[in-house]
Structure 1
Amino acid sequence: MHRTLARFRTLFVLLGLALAFSTPLHGRSALSMAGMAMVVGGLLLFFVSGTAPGREPVVLRSPVRGRWVPVNSPADKIPSHGTHELGQTYAIDLVHVPEGAAEWQPLRKGPLASRPESFPSFGQEITAPADGVVVQASGWQRDHWSRNSWPAFLYLVVEGVLFRALLSYFTLSAGRFVAGNSVVLDLGDGVYAFLAHMRRGSVRVRKGDRVRAGDVLGEVGNSGNSSEPHLHFHLMDRRRPVAAAGLPFAFRYESGGEVRTGVPGGRRPFVPVTEEKVGGDQAA
Structure 2
Amino acid sequence: MSVRAVVPVAMRLSWLVLFALMIGEFVTDLPGPGWATTFLPALVVLALMVATTNLQARAAAPRGEPGPPVEVDPPVTGRWSALNSPADKVPSHGTHVYGQTYAIDIVADPETGEGEPPGRPAFRWFWPLFRRNQAFPAFGAPLLAVADATVVRASDGQRDHLSRTSLAGFLYLMLIEGNVRSIAGAHRVIGNHVILDLGDGTYAAYAHVRRGSLRVKAGDTVRAGQRIGSVGNSGNSSEPHLHVHLMDSPDLDDARGVPFIWRGVGVPANGETFTVDAAGERIAEAGERIDEAEERVAEARSGDVGGAG
TM-score range, shorter chain: 0.7 to 0.9
Alignment deviations for residues 244-271 of structure 1 (CA, whole Å, 9 cap, x no partner): 1111000134xxxxxx5x3101311111
Q: Which has the higher strand share?
A: 1
Match of 2:258 in 1: 247
What CA distance in whole angstroms lies between the structure 1 residues aligned with 2:182 and 2:165?
A: 19
Matched, 1:41 2:51: yes
Q: Which runs of 5+ in 2 are unaligned?
A: 25-40, 281-309
Shift of 1:206: 0.4
Asked whether the equivalents of residues 82 and 272 of structure 2 are also in contact (C-alpha less than 8 Å), the reply is yes
Contact 2:120/2:135 (8 A) holds in 1: no
Q: Could you tell me whether the CA contact under 8 Å between 1:221 and 1:230 is conserved in 2?
A: yes
The corresponding residue for 1:127 is 144
1:268 to 269, 272, 297: 272
Residue deviations 1:194-213 (CA, integer Å, cap 9, x gap)? 00101111011001000010
- Letter aligned with residue 171 of structure 2: L
Higher percent of residues as helix: 2
Aligned partners of 1:90 and 1:111: how far apart in 2? Answer: 32
Deviation digits for residues 36-78 of structure 1 (CA, Å, limit 9, x no counterpart): 6653332113442432323111000000111101001111111
Offset of residue 9 of structure 1: 3.3
Q: 1:74 to 1:46 in 2, by over 3 A?
A: farther
Q: Conserved in 2, the CA contact under 8 Å of 1:111 and 1:149?
A: yes
Determine the C-alpha separation between the residues in 2 that align with 1:12 and 1:142: 27
Q: TM-score, normalised by structure 1?
A: 0.80
User: Which position in structure 2 is the counterpart of 1:196?
Assistant: 207
Q: Is the 8 A contact 1:20 1:34 kept in 2?
A: no
Secondary structure of the residue aligned to 2:50 is helix
TM-score normalised per structure 2: 0.74
Instruction: For residues 188-239 of structure 1, give each alpha carbon's deviation from its aligned partner in whole angstroms, at most 9, with x where no partner exists.
Output: 1111100010111101100100001001010001111110000010011111
Is the CA contact 1:18–1:35 (under 8 Å) kept in the aligned structure 2? no
Unaligned stretches of 5+ residues in structure 1: 25-30, 169-174, 254-259, 277-284
1:28 matched residue in structure 2: none
RMSD, aligned CA: 3.0
The Cα of 1:124 is off from its aligned counterpart by 0.3
Relative to 1, partners in 2 of residues 1:155 and 1:77: Cα closer, same or farther, differing over 3 Å?
same
Deviation readout 1:140-159 (Å, 9 max, x if unpaired): 11111100111111111123
Q: Which amino acid aligns with 1:57?
A: P
With 7-16 and 55-64 compared, the bigger mean Cα shift is at: 7-16
Task: Work out the CA distance in 2 between the residues paired with 1:204 and 1:33.
Answer: 47
Q: Secondary structure at the match of 2:263?
A: strand
